[in-house]
Amino acid sequence: MSTRRGGSLVNIKYMFHSDIADNQGKPFSTRLYQLTQRRRHWFFIAPALIILLLVVIYPIIFSTGVSLFRVTFASQSRPFVGLQNFERMLGNDDFIQSAFNTLYYVVFSVSGSFLLGFAVALLIRRITAGVELLRLILIIPITMAPIVVGLMWNWMLDPLFGLVNWFLGLFGIPGQTMLAHASTARLTVVLVDIWQWYPLVFLIIEAGMATLPRAPFESARLEGVSSWMIFRRLTLPMLRPVILVALLLRTVDAFRTFDIVRVMTDGGPHLTTETLSLYLYRTAFTFSKLSRAAAGSILMLLFIGLISALMFRYLYRDVEMG
């Protein structure tokens, strides 16, 4: 078994003993064998760790490096410009606009999908028949490719033959062009995002509710506590870690929104639906301003890092990680 770490003197003495005293005069191969025995976990972990450092950490370092120079795909010369790219990005109206849009997505998509998902999780506990079928139906949007969801809703929302307008027409409401107007496009995209992801919140909350102990709820009900008070004082506090996980995952995903917007509006009209991911993609690949996009992506990483670090701290107060 593994060597157990502990504060006891015996352990420390034992480790000391085996490390130095035993090894004196033993052949190198034996010492090497003992070393591999003590560090054997690294043989299992190292391959995965090396690849992760290579595909996640190195690109971020590379990106940070690129952001300090002026690099384009077109020119060979790469002068050092310091923080100029960051200044340009923060002073750029389009960048600020897309950052604001991203924040809008995060706030409304996360809160919308959370409230809807939570409500469905509460409602499904009140029914008995068809629960399994309902769960199955609700899983479908989660597993659809976001790009398929976006294309599907493009069709649903078409002003001429889309089902949404056909349905509204039944009530005498004339055809709407929701995706073409600056005032409605952003909200429409958010609603589609909610459509896809509220089932995820539902699944998480429902799984959390299934693990709650029954006794406190039963005794509260016996004592005649109202169901609202049971919800406020028992369900919500006990579900806190689960709720935080759901919010954290949704926040992180809403922050990176790209696919749905790319196929539904491609950032338009007039940049009202442009997200940070989309804007940086365009900066790098349409306008070939690689180092400026790199600076923007580093800013984006810092921002989401800050948000998730705050949420993490709340989370770890409750959940003891294995």
For residue 174, what are its two tokens?
């004339």
16 binds another protein (CB under 8 A): no
Burial class (CB in 10 A: 0-12, 13-18, 19+), 179: buried
Contacts of another protein in 263-322 (CB under 8 A) = 263, 276-277, 280-281, 284-285, 290, 293-294, 297-298, 300-301, 304-305, 308, 312, 315, 319, 321-322
The stretch near another protein (CB under 8 A) out of 25-33, 87-95, 117-125, 176-184 is 117-125
- In the bound state with another protein, the residue whose beta carbon lies nearer, of 24 and 315, is 315
Q: Supply the minimum distance, in Å, between the C-beta of residue 149 and another protein.
A: 9
Q: Which of 83, 115, 123, 229 binds another protein (CB under 8 A)?
A: 123
151 binds another protein (CB under 8 A): yes
- In the bound state with another protein, the residue whose beta carbon lies nearer, of 25 and 322, is 322
Residues facing residue 272 across a β-bridge:
none
Angle CA(53)–CA(59)–CA(64) in degrees, nearest 5?
125
CA 28, chain centre distance (Å) = 49
Angle CA(13)–CA(14)–CA(19) in degrees, nearest 5?
100
Number of residues engaging another protein in binding (CB under 8 A):
95
Question: Contact, 18 vs 11, CB < 8 A?
Answer: no
Of 192, 190, 186, 194, the C-alpha closest to 274 is: 186
At residue 256, φ and ψ (nearest 5 deg) are: -100, 10
For residue 128, what are its two tokens?
């008995």
Q: Which of 15, 22, 59, 232 binds another protein (CB under 8 A)?
A: 59
Q: Which of 68, 70, 71, 272 binds another protein (CB under 8 A)?
A: 71
Contacts of another protein in 224-263 (CB under 8 A) = 241-242, 245-246, 249, 252, 255-256, 258-259, 262-263
The stretch near another protein (CB under 8 A) out of 89-97, 177-185, 199-207, 229-237 is 199-207
CA 94, chain centre distance (Å) = 24
Separation CA 136–CA 3 (nearest Å): 46
145 binds another protein (CB under 8 A): yes
Q: Supply the minimum distance, in Å, between the C-beta of residue 79 and another protein.
A: 17
